[in-house]
Amino acid sequence: MSRPVFVAVGYDGLRLLSEDGRSWGSPMLGQEGEVLRSAAVGNGRVVAVGTRGGDQVLTASVDGVKWTRSRREGGYGGYLRAVQFDGRRFLGLGGDPGAVGAANPYVLISDDGVNWEGPHRIGGKFLIRRIAFGDGIYVGVGDRGRRAWSRDAIHWEDVPDVKPLETLIDIAHGAGVFVGVGLHGLRWRTLDGRKWLEPIRGEEGEHLNSIVWTGDRFVAVGLGATYLSADGAKWERRPNREAPTTVCHHEGIFVGTKWKGRLQASRDGIVWDAVARVDRHIEAVAAGWIGSDRS
């Protein structure tokens, strides 16, 4: 029996779960100093990854109650920064964010969030921070303007001659197009990860930190404005207030988080309601189906 789940993760191994994005359960904590940086939901389970000191922390649960936690030595250079679900597998993304031009980025792969394969070194000077998957292609965006594409998430080809000023923070796939977002309202789309169409600039200071595909539109949430588009080409700008810095979407509900420990919910990505608060910082939110018969 599967059920919808929203998950929030953060400092000191914080994990919080909700079925509707508004009513949240009691916070669960891990070890002091453990920071869960990212979460993903897929294959009927929740997976969260992060770091403690120089080590990688990986944790997974099929019911949101009992968690399997593992630790991998990261050697203060193999920090695990993100986990994403591609519809089939979990992909862990990491490297050394502090090493300028020598991030040594890698990908970890797992079906269940417990047993991980890798690290697969993916080349390049800078981290890939976020990946979107669609039409058999992975498109990744990362530091200093890095944009790359892959067919298997292991072997990547970089877009040449990228400019740091065109760095994208997040990326989503829908309606046959990938759309990345960045500083000052930057939106940029590609069909295949190789050829990128003309970027669209927004207003100064309206940084877009998250973009999601809702099934019928892209919703990019930023500081002061939310941008909406069905195709990534034509956009509607809607002023927002108290928008979160990180957003997920599931079954018509947007959930986001912002400092410190605040959880917010929205029906449209524009008007946000404060729904919960905990005393630890929440780094990431994710949503999907948990249980045995849905992925």
Partner 1 sequence: MSDRNRFGDGSGRMTRRAMLRGAGVAVALPFLESWVRPFARAAGGIAGPPLRMAIVTVTGGTVLESWKLPGGGPLGKLPSILRPLDFARNDLLILTGLSHTGASDNLNGHENCGYKHLTGAARVGKIGGRPYAGISVDQAAARVAGRETFLPSIEMGLTNHETPFSFRSVDQPAPFEADPRMIFDRMFRGRQPVVPNWKRRGESRDAEAGRTSPPTDPYDRSVLDAVRAEARALRNRLDSSDRQKLDQYLDALRASETRIDRLEARLRVEALDVKDPGPSRLVDIRIPSEMGKPSFHHYRELIHRDPEKHADYIRIMADLLVLALQTDTTRVVTLAAGADDAFFPGVVTVGYEYHCHTLEHQGNADRPENADPIAREACRQIHAWYTEFFAEMVARLKAIDEGGSTLLDNTMLLYTSYMSDGGHGTIDYPALLVGKAQGTLRTGRQIDFPAKTPMSNLFVEMLERMGAGGPGFGDSLTSPNRAFEGRLPGLA
List residues binding partner 1 (CB under 8 A).
Answer: 11, 37, 81-82, 97-98, 100, 126, 129, 143-144, 163-165, 167, 169, 182-183, 207, 209, 223, 245, 258-260, 281, 283
Asked whether the beta carbons of 140 and 130 are under 8 A apart, the reply is: yes
- 57 vs 177, which CB is nearer to partner 1? 57
| Least distance from partner 1 to the Cβ atom of residue 252, Å | 26
Token pair belonging to 72: 């991998």
- 165 vs 230, which CB is nearer to partner 1? 165
What sign has the CA pseudo-torsion 170, 137, 10, 240? positive
Q: Give the span between the Cα atoms of 38 and 291, in whole angstroms.
A: 20
- 249 vs 258, which CB is nearer to partner 1? 258
| Least distance from partner 1 to the Cβ atom of residue 207, Å | 5
Strand order in the sheet with 79-85: 79-85, 90-95, 106-110, 116-121
| Least distance from partner 1 to the Cβ atom of residue 143, Å | 5
| Least distance from partner 1 to the Cβ atom of residue 11, Å | 8
- 62 vs 243, which CB is nearer to partner 1? 243
Q: What distance separates the 2 farthest-apart alpha carbons in the chain?
A: 49
Q: Give the span between the Cα atoms of 20 and 3, in whole angstroms.
A: 10
The C-alpha angle with vertex 167 and arms to 95 and 9, in degrees rounded to 5, equals 50
| Least distance from partner 1 to the Cβ atom of residue 27, Å | 16
Is residue 236 helix, strand or coil? strand
| Least distance from partner 1 to the Cβ atom of residue 256, Å | 12
- 125 vs 238, which CB is nearer to partner 1? 125
- 170 vs 290, which CB is nearer to partner 1? 170
Q: Give the span between the Cα atoms of 230 and 122, in whole angstroms.
A: 32
